[in-house]
Amino acid sequence: MSTYRFEDSIQRGIIYLCKSDKDFFLQVLPLMKPSYFDALSHQNIFQSITDHYEKYKQLPNDDFIIEECKKKVKKIEHISEYKTELESVNSVDVSSLNNRDYLLEKVEDFAQHQAVAGALVESVDLLKDGKVDSIPTMLREAMNVGRSIDIGQSYFDDIDARYDRLTDDSHRVTFKTPFPYMNEKVLEGGISKKELAMVVAPPGVGKSLYLVNQAAVSMAEGRNVLYISLEMSEDRVSQRLDSIITKVPQSRIRTDREEVKRRLGVVRKKYPNFGKLVIKEFPTKRCTVNGLRAYLNQLKNFSEFEPDILIVDYLEIMSTDSSMPEYKSQEILAQELRGLAVENDLAVWTATQTNRQGKSVDIIKDTELADSYGKIRTCDFVISLNQNAEERDGGEGRVHVMKNRNGRPGDTFRIEFQYDVLVMKQAPPSNQ
d(CA 372, CA 86): 58
Measure the CA–CA gap between 24 and 26, rounded to whole angstroms.
6
Amino acid 2: pLDDT? 45
- Is the previous residue joined to 36 through a cis bond, with omega within 30 degrees of 0? no
Listed range (134-148, 214-228, 276-290, 300-314) with the worst mean pLDDT: 134-148
Q: So what's the pLDDT on residue 327?
A: 75
Q: How far apart are CA 341 and CA 350, in angstroms?
A: 12
Superfamily name with CATH number, domain 169-431: P-loop containing nucleotide triphosphate hydrolases (3.40.50.300)
Rg (CA), the chain: 29
Residues 365-402 pLDDT 10s: 888 786 667 788 899 999 999 999 999 999 999 999 99
Amino acid at 126: L
Higher pLDDT, 276 or 93: 276
336-357 average pLDDT score: 92
Model confidence, pTM? 0.68
- Under a CB-based contact definition with an 8 Å cutoff, are residues 83 and 66 in contact? yes
List the domain boundaries for the chain. Answer: 8-143, 169-431
Residue 71 DSSP class: T
Q: How far apart are CA 54 and CA 124, in angstroms?
A: 34
Cis peptide before 314 (omega within 30 of 0): yes
Among 320, 333, 415, 411, smallest CA distance to 379 is for 333
Each residue's pLDDT tens digit, 114-137? 778 778 888 888 787 777 767 777
CATH code for the domain defined by 8-143 = 1.10.860.10
Asked if 45 and 69 count as a contact pair (C-beta separation under 8 A), the reply is yes
